[in-house]
Amino acid sequence: MSILKISRLGHPILLEKTNPVQNILDNEIKKIIYDMSETMIDAKGIGLAAPQVYINKQIMIFRTFNEDHDKNNEIKITALINPKISKITNETDEQWEGCLSIPGMLGLVKRYKKIKYEGLDMNGNIIKKEAEGLEARVVQHEYDHLMGILYTSRLVDEKAFGFSEEIEDFWKNQNKDKKDNNELNSN
Ligand code: ZN
């Protein structure tokens, strides 16, 4: 496995819609997924999409959120190939998001609270799940990457974006009563 270079805001690959994977069972795809996993862990992210490592393919990974995730410090990762997502309700919430392709910055983004997602794993098995909370948010963020969309185009307010230190000092303190204070890791 190898750690890959992460593309950053300004590189056009982040604004391209990705192509579906045709050769799902190919070893090349497995290698991409392993390398993306190592890259995400190294960068302390919670999700990563292929365009973030300069690959125009519908592949995304994210840390698996379950009760026993911290047993033995084991990190479980879900890889989704050719994913589809849909909302379960119209309910939304607003949270601060970061992105490994926009390091040091945070933005306040509205997302659906509950979604369904479906895709294939690297063995060609169908993964079909419902998600809410952080998992729903990360999946929507990564899916957006596959569509060439960055969270900066989904800000609830154009002022709700900036360097994380400034956001901590200004936004979170000023708006403590209005907004949830939770900070997300980069994805
Ligand atoms: Zn991102």
* CATH numbers and ranges of domains, the chain: 12-186 (3.90.45.10)
DSSP string, 52-107: GGT--BSEEEEE---TTTTGGG---EEEEEEEEEEESSS-EEEEEEE-TTSTTEEE
Active-site hit among 94, 130, 142, 165: 142
Higher pLDDT, 119 or 182: 119
Q: Is 139 helix (H, G, I), strand (E, B) or coil?
A: helix
Identify the pLDDT of residue 181. Answer: 47
| Rounded Cα distance, 33 and 94, in Å | 30
pLDDT of 70 strictly over 60 = no
Q: What is the Å distance from ligand 1's center to 151 Cα?
A: 7
Identify the pLDDT of residue 68. Answer: 56
Predicted confidence (pLDDT) per residue in 85-113, tens digit: 999 999 999 999 999 999 999 999 999 99
H-run or E-run covering 130: strand 126-132
Residue 142 known to be catalytic: yes
pTM summary value? 0.90
Q: What is the Å distance from ligand 1's center to 73 Cα?
A: 24
48 contacts 5 by C-beta, under 8 angstroms? no
Over range 55-79, report the average pLDDT.
82
Predicted confidence (pLDDT) per residue in 161-172, tens digit: 999 999 988 877
| Rounded Cα distance, 42 and 164, in Å | 20
| Rounded Cα distance, 79 and 49, in Å | 10
Largest CA distance in the chain: 51
Identify the pLDDT of residue 168. Answer: 85
Q: β-strands 126-132, 161-163: how paired?
A: unpaired
Q: What is the Å distance from ligand 1's center to 49 Cα?
A: 7
pLDDT of 182 strictly over 60 = no
Give the mean pLDDT of the chain.
91
Predicted confidence (pLDDT) per residue in 37-52, tens digit: 999 999 999 999 999 9
